[in-house]
Amino acid sequence: MMNTDHRLRRLNAGSIWLFGMGLLVPATVAVADGTVSGQCRFEQIKGRNIWYTNLHEWNAFLVPSWSMFTDPLSYRVDHGNYTFTNTAGHYTIYVNQPEFFGRAKVVQDVQLTDGQTVTVHPSLNLDYSCFYKSDWPSGWATPWYQTFIATGTSINKIAYSCASGDTGTINVSLLKDTGGNVTTWTQVGVTKSSGSSIGEAWVGYRSGQQPTVPGERYAIRLAGQGGTPFSPFWRTDNGDGYAGGQAFDADGNPQNKDLCVLVFSDNDGTVIPYMKTTGGMGTRTWWEWQWGQTFKATGEALAAVDLWISHGGDLQWNMRTEVKVYSNPPAGDPPTPSGLVGLVKRGRGAWQAGGAAMIGAGYAPGEVPLVTGNTYYIEITPYGGDSIGYEAYRFDQPADDYPYGHAYSNRYPRPDIDLSMTIMEYAVSGPPPQIERSPASFTRSVERGKNLPDDTFTVRNAGGGVMPYTISDNVGWLSVAPDSGTSSGEVDPISIIYDTSTLVIGSYTGTITIAAPNAVNPTETVIVYLTVTPPLFAPCDFDTDHDVDQVDFGQFQECYTQTGVMQTDPDCIGADLDGDGDVDPEDFVIFMGCLSGPGVEADTLCAG
């Protein structure tokens, strides 16, 4: 949100603040204190580094390093501006407002020096930006495209504005340049939808859901649902616009324009595998002493955490908390987590309208190390007499359901709840995940009426980090087990289970697809080439001498049961020629059709 006049909320433990002319001014600054101030912002045009848009009503947190015993501070950012004064030392600044269109930001190694002021401008991570709302197309149309060059490994949020106002739902897609007209480029990930307004509408993604390759070209596609035309804001490029792409109309014709679109990404060495991807804070839960959440790590260290809570007038909005991470969730009686990981950090509340607050904490690299692919439990508890508990917010939209963990209240599991929080991590240094499968194909042959034995192929992450994947197939005569997994470099065996007994004679091809959205190669396939051949012998050629004669008829007679009497002798399988379980007159008729006489080769398909 921008340019809205709200009263500032400012916390500074141990200081007195004077109110005058709408400003907050410290009455005294201790000799051992330092100050950091600046503007929270983002580039109006990506890559120009000249014009910036300041953030308004975002939350900023100044969190001390592990070696300091001072409390963290919070600040309600006003038109981009913030100021913190605290004990000299090393800090991390964390900035976020999950309700709005931007991506969270963490700034490492902020040094406060005695009696001095340092300037730090936290700037949000962007792959593309053109934030101007003074011009728009003369005619409405759909869809519209904006190309850009990726600088990060994944997209977190896409925001846009419509000059035509509320014209219905807009479907937002990411396309990858595969050559030719932009309208034919290949889609990456899923299409998401939001509204249309002069303000900022947006869609969100967790890291890895919309993967990108730095240096590659992509496009944002904005399409009115049901073909409804609309008019986006755009800006004419007079040599001062975005240099890495441009707008395109519905037919893929290039325009000397840049669409008013913001593309936020993982381009600073952090990832956000847990976040609310839809608008709003979520839904309030109930009052408890402490709340926690399990999550699966995709990075190598924790970078930041925030949680929406309700203070409702019963506790102070700037509540102090301890944030702890454990390698094992609560267990036993009473339930207790185990395996404390890294440092215990202190968080602080930031004021939010409507009786809500956001608890936030930032981390320097290595303060809380993580192992990619492992599950951890994070717990947030008030301390210092600030509160006897709090109400946490929970996700309330199916799109935000988290598959790798769940909430805990007072350390008891709540498997139907995911807390409305953000978990940011420092990305694994090194190469991105990469799908490796072996073998790439199978060539198999089976007689008609029989099932093939199972096959096995393997899936492995040949790159870095953690690679979640799913497996699907496109035919009914095979299936795979398991159909999903996660690899951090280990080899995962996957079974192919065949069901070929009902296939007719002929050639078949089945495709098994391995999909890993955060891999550099998001999909790979295993192809199964299958040939169904005629049987070598007629089904009633009991002595397998290639004819059906008196000897075979003798065996048939021994197997005869009459109608409705089931034949279970395994030596009589070839006598049940109509496959109904008994050996009766109907089977005799079929046998007579197979009868060839001694030394005369029988038709192997004589039973149909």
For 281-305, give the secondary structure using H, E and C.
CCEEEEEECCEEEEEECCCCEEEEE
Provide the pLDDT for residue 387.
65
Provide the pLDDT for residue 420.
97
Provide the pLDDT for residue 312.
60
Nearest in space to 130 (alpha carbons), one of 142, 151, 143, 147: 147
The CATH code for residues 435-533 is: 2.60.40.10
Please compute the mean of the pLDDT values over residues 327-354 and round it to a whole number: 91
Provide the pLDDT for residue 105.
97
Look at 518 and 367; give whichever has higher pLDDT: 367
Domain 537-608 belongs in CATH node 1.10.1330: yes
Nearest in space to 148 (alpha carbons), one of 264, 291, 299, 7: 264
Please compute the mean of the pLDDT values over residues 199-224 and round it to a whole number: 94
Please compute the mean of the pLDDT values over residues 466-491 and round it to a whole number: 92
The CATH code for residues 17-123+277-391 is: 2.60.40.1120
C-alpha 85/C-alpha 80 separation (Å) is 17
**pLDDT > 60? residue 211:** yes
Cβ neighbours of residue 56 under 8 Å, at least 6 residues apart?
1, 2, 3, 4, 77, 78, 79, 80
**pLDDT > 90? residue 77:** no
Q: Are strands 375-382 and 345-352 parallel, antiparallel or unpaired?
A: unpaired
Global pTM reads 0.71
Residues of the chain with CATH 2.60.40.10: 435-533
**pLDDT bracket for residue 307 (50, 70, 90):** very high
Provide the pLDDT for residue 1.
37
Handedness of CA 240, 246, 249, 254 (dihedral sign): positive
Provide the pLDDT for residue 11.
29
Q: Take residue 405 and report the two structure tokens written for it.
A: 């963990």
Please compute the mean of the pLDDT values over residues 142-163 and round it to a whole number: 95
Q: Which helix (H) or strand (E) holds 330?
A: strand 320-331
Residues in the chain: 608
Q: Top-level CATH class of 126-267?
A: mainly beta
Phi and psi torsions of 584, nearest 5°: -140, -170
Using only C-alpha atoms, what is the Rg of the chain? 32
Per DSSP, the residues of 453-516 read PPEEEEEEE-SSS-EEEEEEES-SSEEEES-EEEESS-EEEEEEEE--TTPPSEEEEEEEEEE-
Provide the pLDDT for residue 538.
81
- Other C-beta atoms within 10 Å of 562: how many? 10
Nearest in space to 373 (alpha carbons), one of 230, 490, 226: 490
Cβ neighbours of residue 354 under 8 Å, at least 6 residues apart?
none
Residues of the chain with CATH 1.10.1330: 537-608
Q: Where are the alpha helices (DSSP H) in 329-429?
A: none
Residues 16-68 have pLDDT tens digits of 232 222 333 333 444 478 999 999 999 999 998 889 999 999 999 999 986 55
